[in-house]
């Protein structure tokens, strides 16, 4: 496998990048390969030393970290004399349509491309990352006549997506990161998050905007379902502010005399910001007996808690008791 040092922006490439940051559109036109050895620095190159052929661009993926992935395909179908891939170049132009060598790369361990024959069929997909900084408009010249793609590209972009289209009843539109218009009602694959999204508004973005795309993959949907409520310590809070909370309390020290009472103050797990609407009480029979009755003191009900009065209905029984409570409010 060939090893490359990494793409270096040429002086012309740096000038074009500056124009892109100033508002111009950077259009990548092609990738080229050669077998030459550069005697000057990469930054000074304006062309490959010995260009052999150009590679058509399959697609580009503009990322938010200031880089851009360019996919290009090398085939030896037109190669009659084998050669070593010693240099790579990426070409682009600005608004003036003057094509320049944007970035240059050299190999320290080049691959050999044999001449085409029935026993020597070569197809290599290059995925190269170059710097585009925060340029707003980045595009590419993609040859629509290309009829061959790699298996990996097909699997990721068409085969799985076609099957998913049958299930969803939506038309697959491609990758969100691809250059071009996205159509409302179609669904697209996000190569960054690795999930599918429905386009809800026509756009030409190359990144996922929640105002333009709606998640339809299982994980984003399940994440949204999980976010429909917030679980806390003995409470559930819903997006509209509704809170349901509960607790278990017990008391001791109640006199065995009939009619004896004991007050128990209960604090809610989570304070109701507006008000508590209702509290329900039930006995905890691990502690209580039939001679006890728990009564909610309605005047004590507040955003923070309530007071429960326990009364001895008849003599006898233990001095301990327990109860469950559930409160609803906003």
282: domain CATH number is 2.60.40.3940
Nearest to 116 by CA among 149, 83, 150: 83
End position of a domain, from candidates 184, 208, 224: 224
Task: Please tell me the predicted confidence (pLDDT) of residue 148.
Answer: 45
Same-domain check for residues 251 and 267: yes
Distance between CA atoms of 5 and 25, rounded to whole angstroms? 27
Which residue pairs, CB below 8 angstroms and at least 24 apart, start in 211-217?
212/182, 213/176, 213/182, 213/188, 216/168, 216/170, 216/187
Could you list the residue range(s) of the whole structural domain that residue 281 is in? 230-329
The number of domains in the chain is 3
Model confidence pLDDT, tens digit, residues 59-69: 787 777 777 88
What confidence category does residue 149 fall into, taking pLDDT thresholds of 50, 70 and 90? very low
Same-domain check for residues 320 and 269: yes
Query: What average pLDDT does the chain have?
Result: 78
- Exposure string of 262-295, with b = 16+ CB inside 10 Å and e = fewer, is bebebebebebeeebeebeeebeeebbeebbebe
Predicted confidence (pLDDT) at residue 198 exceeds the cutoff of 60: yes
Task: Please tell me the predicted confidence (pLDDT) of residue 78.
Answer: 78
Structural domain includes residue 79: yes
Q: Which comes out higher in pLDDT, residue 49 or 219?
A: 49
Question: Residue 37, SS3?
Answer: coil
Structural domain includes residue 145: no
N- to C-terminal Cα distance for the chain?
64
CA distances from 41 to 36, 45, 46, 49, 279 (A): 13, 7, 11, 12, 78
Task: Please tell me the predicted confidence (pLDDT) of residue 314.
Answer: 65
Same-domain check for residues 82 and 197: no
Same-domain check for residues 246 and 274: yes
Same-domain check for residues 240 and 218: no
Predicted confidence (pLDDT) at residue 166 exceeds the cutoff of 70: no
Same-domain check for residues 10 and 130: yes
Is residue 310 a contact partner of residue 321, using CB atoms and an 8 Å limit?
A: yes
Task: Please tell me the predicted confidence (pLDDT) of residue 224.
Answer: 54
Tokens describing residue 286: 């691990």
Model confidence pLDDT, tens digit, residues 289-315: 556 677 777 778 888 888 887 777 666
Structural domain includes residue 123: yes
Same-domain check for residues 212 and 118: no
Same-domain check for residues 253 and 209: no
Q: Which comes out higher in pLDDT, residue 200 or 71?
A: 200
Q: Is the dihedral of CA 213, 218, 222, 225 positive or negative?
A: positive
Cross-strand pairs, 319: none
Predicted confidence (pLDDT) at residue 50 exceeds the cutoff of 90: yes
pTM for the model: 0.45
Model confidence pLDDT, tens digit, residues 94-130: 999 999 999 898 988 888 888 887 566 676 767 777 7
Structural domain includes residue 146: no
Task: Please tell me the predicted confidence (pLDDT) of residue 39.
Answer: 81
Please state the φ and ψ torsions of residue 255, each to the nearest 5 degrees: -65, 150
Is residue 107 a contact partner of residue 3, using CB atoms and an 8 Å limit?
A: yes
Same-domain check for residues 30 and 14: yes
19-34: average pLDDT: 88
CA distances from 288 to 237, 263, 283 (A): 31, 15, 7
160-179: average pLDDT: 70
Nearest to 132 by CA among 275, 21, 5: 21
Tokens describing residue 199: 């386009």
């Amino acid at each position: 496998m060939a090893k490359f040092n990494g793409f270096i922006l040429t002086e012309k490439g740096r000038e074009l990048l500056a124009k892109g940051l100033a508002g111009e559109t950077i259009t990548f036109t092609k990738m080229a390969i050669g077998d030459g050895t550069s005697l000057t620095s990469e930054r000074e190159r304006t062309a490959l030393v010995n260009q052999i052929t150009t590679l058509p661009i399959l697609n580009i993926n503009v990322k938010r970290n200031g880089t851009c992935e360019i996919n290009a395909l090398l085939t030896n179908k037109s190669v009659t004399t084998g050669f070593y891939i010693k240099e790579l170049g990426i070409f682009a132009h600005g608004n003036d349509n003057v094509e320049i060598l944007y970035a240059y790369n050299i190999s320290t361990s080049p691959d050999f491309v044999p001449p085409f024959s029935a026993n020597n069929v070569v197809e290599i997909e290059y995925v190269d990352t170059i710097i585009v900084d925060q340029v707003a408009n980045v595009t590419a010249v993609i040859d629509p006549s290309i009829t061959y793609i790699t298996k990996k590209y097909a699997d990721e972009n068409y085969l799985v997506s076609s099957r998913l289209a049958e299930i969803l009843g939506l038309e697959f539109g491609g990758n969100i990161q691809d250059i071009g218009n996205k159509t409302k009602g179609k669904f697209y694959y996000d190569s960054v998050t690795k999930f599918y999204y429905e386009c809800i508004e026509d756009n030409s973005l190359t990144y996922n905007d929640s105002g333009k795309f709606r998640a339809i993959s299982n994980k984003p949907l399940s994440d949204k379902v999980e976010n429909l409520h917030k679980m806390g310590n003995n409470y559930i809070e819903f997006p509209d502010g509704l809170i349901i909370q509960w607790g278990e309390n017990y008391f001791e020290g109640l006199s065995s005399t009939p009619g004896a009472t004991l007050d128990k103050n209960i604090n809610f797990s989570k304070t109701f910001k507006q008000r508590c609407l209702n509290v329900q009480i039930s006995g905890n029979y691990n502690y209580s007996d039939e001679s006890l009755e728990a009564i909610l003191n309605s005047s004590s009900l507040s955003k923070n808690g309530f007071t429960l009065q326990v009364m001895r209905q008849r003599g006898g029984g233990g001095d301990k008791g327990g109860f469950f409570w559930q409160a609803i409010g906003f």
